Amino acid sequence: MKEARMQFSRIADEGLRVLRLVMCVGVAIGCGGILGANERDPQAVEVAKRTMTAMGGESAWNDTRFVRFEFNVASDGNVQRGRTHLWDKWTGRYRYESQTDDGKSQIVLFNVDEKKGRSYVDGALTTAKEEADKILDSAHGAFINDTYWLAMPWKWLDPGVSLEYAGEEEKRGETCDVVKLSFENVGRTPGDTYLGYVSKESGLMVHWSYKLQSDRTGAWDWDYVDAGGIKLAQNHTNDEGRKIHMGVVRVFDAVDDAYFNDRSKMLSTLK
């Protein structure tokens, strides 16, 4: 089991290396707004707006308050339970449930905007500051990474993102508009570039490829689920047989405050 958890960590870390829009996830997605204007091809902007409309519209995304989802990884047919999240987009409150490398339960109750909170391992409050800071930093990193895999197409018009229309291409049997995303003074590695493939028929981004500043490349198909009037990611698959599944994805207008302040109020009861 420990080996399986370590494999999960390696695959999840690959996803974290893909993410570079740290500031935008923490600020723009948390507030729900689409801010600023950068160097953007008008045709690419039109595709981005069409994508958001296909996912339910900017207003619906802004009005969404509570989001519950998971981040589960499967590789070589080995399915592993990963991490479970509850996010209050309006206030930044967050509940994060996972396991340590040695199989202990871990719960972090914190605020993603303030990066302050408390953590519990096997039900016991973490009191040692160095350990508590390390757990909180890891949970915040998981928030950044996992929400990106959940909601990336909503972020194309965030500040610092430049868009270029890159023509048409067939993906997954569909004709797609291709948009190249590059970054200006944003995140940890602004040399990364992404290609989003948006179906002309559905308006959804059905495929995503990237080349990182390190020259690492990758590509994933995206599939969606309807959640409270908006679309969020459900499944990601790549050519190597890896899968990232977002588990039970739901949005709520209201949830019990205990989920954000009581370690015993587990997210398995919120469906």
pLDDT of residue 28: 39
Amino acid 200: pLDDT: 97
pLDDT band at 175 (very low <50, low <70, confident <90, very high): very high
CA 181 – CA 44 distance, rounded (Å): 9
SS3 of the chain: the string is CHHHHHHHHHHHHHHHHHCCCHHHHHHHHHHCCCCCCCCECHHHHHHHHHHHHHCCCHHHHHHCCEEEEEEEEEECCEEEEEEEEEEECCCCEEEEEEECCCCCEEEEEEECCCCEEEEEECCEECCCHHHHHHHHHHHHHHHHHHHHHHHHHHHCCCCCEEEEEEEEEEECCEEEEEEEEEECCCCCCCCCEEEEEEECCCCCEEEEEEECCCCCEEEEEEEEEEECCEEEEEEEECCCCCEEECCCCEEECCCCCHHHHCCCCCHHHCC
Q: Residue 96 belongs to what domain range?
A: 2-269
How confident is the prediction for the chain on average, in pLDDT?
A: 85
pLDDT > 70: percent of the chain: 82
Read off the pTM: 0.83
* Tally of structural domains, the chain: 1
Residue 184, pLDDT score: 73
Asked if 39 contacts 184 with a C-beta cutoff of 8 angstroms, the reply is: yes
Higher-pLDDT residue of 214 and 259 is 259
The CATH number that applies at residue 198 is 2.50.20
Average pLDDT over residues 168-179: 96
pLDDT tier, 10 (very low <50, low <70, confident <90, very high otherwise): very low
**Per-residue pLDDT at 96 exceeds 60:** yes
